[in-house]
Structure 1
Amino acid sequence: MQPLLQATDIKRSYGTLPVLKGIQLSIQKSEVVSVVGASGAGKSTLLHILGTLDRPDAGQVLMDGQDVFALNEKELARFRNRRIGFVFQFHNLLAEFTALENVCLPGFMAGTDERAVRKRAAELLNLLGLSDRTDHLPSQLSGGEQQRVAVARALVNSPAIVFADEPSGNLDSRNAEELHQLFFRLRNELGQTFVIVTHNETLATLADRRLVIRDGVMEE
């Protein structure tokens, strides 16, 4: 079966410092994969390349068989918006927009019909237990609620894959545990694929596969 995501010989240096030294990686649809490693090992660098936010110095990333870095910048931005979701440590919600409006933004950027986007956003917020928070601003939400809004935003365009960078790093243990369980529920209910960079060993161990970056290469 063709993997959803395939990375081959990914290399990335900053100045004279090699960070990624030929990463090989494949992700199947509906997998939850964790990526761990020491600080500075290149986990976030790899995530940004896989998520097309950064380009490698060498190597290839295929998604559903498509060479993503063969796209020009405009095509790549459109591809990223429609096919990839992101969840970051610090939510990155826009303070002046409600929870519903924050979730809708990627759908509006994709040019999808506004009513369809709002319906999808409301359904996701309901799925994530936030139906009574749709009109709240981020400042009126707890940290755990803000992160669930960020997860809904990542899902609003029905992406092929969601990349999460330290998603529970800013949450207390209870909210972190709830978020971890949410990823697996979304995999089970929606068939969603997740690649999660984390220092949280509980989450890393729960994943279907735990990958380790050490000295710029990948170990499983």
Structure 2
Amino acid sequence: MAGRVYLIGAGPGAADLITVRGMRLLQQADAVLYDALVQPEMLEYCPQAVLIPVGKRCAKASTAQRFINKMLVDAARKYGRVVRLKGGDPMLFGRAQEELAALDEAGIGYEVVPGVTAALAASAGTGISLTSRGLARNVLFATARVGEGESGSDWVKPVLAADTAVLYMGVKQAAEIAAALLAGGMRPDTPLLVVENASLPGVREWPLTLAELPQAAGWNLAGPAILLLGEVYRARLALDERIRQTG
């Protein structure tokens, strides 16, 4: 009989931001298939398990999704309790649907355990709420990235309409993102933050305007980064400018 698979959100990076349920399931796992963004400290929760790396990183050598699907099914047929450990939240830009479809097709039972997504960790770290009474009443999570063989989507209009927008996997496309939003009518002085390694000791933040965003495309960032746009970041941008002028 096949085992059971648990798709667990590892959270944004810090090992202690995984949910209690996620940690307990890791401690009980027979095998763990984990993403490249999962920190080594988190794998210390499951010393008893067989560890199987199935890393996926943008613009880097990684495991093809169809092969990950097969590995997950094969692991479930070999082990009783299998954890698929995914960075952030499994159901947000994590290709969870493809893996769940493969499990459904194979007749394998599963459970999804949510995790803290990077946007929430970045917001907590910066001390700037994604929403603010009278200023930002809605938040949009989006990505401009299109995988090989995938059709594009109209992400620009929703971002233009949002009070606060969070763009995942967008730093390398910073110039294209800025050009698209400016062409759509977004103001060049729209404030934003680039946050790298949210929740980790090496976290870094860069306040910018939309007009300045293209420069981020040339940054050689080692960790995952997201873009946060909206008027809620206006005060932070002004503070950074004052510090630079008096610095």
User: Under TM normalisation by the shorter chain, which class is it?
Assistant: under 0.3
Look at both structures and tell me which one has the larger radius of gyration over its CA atoms.
2
Higher relative contact order (CA 8 A, sep 6+): 1
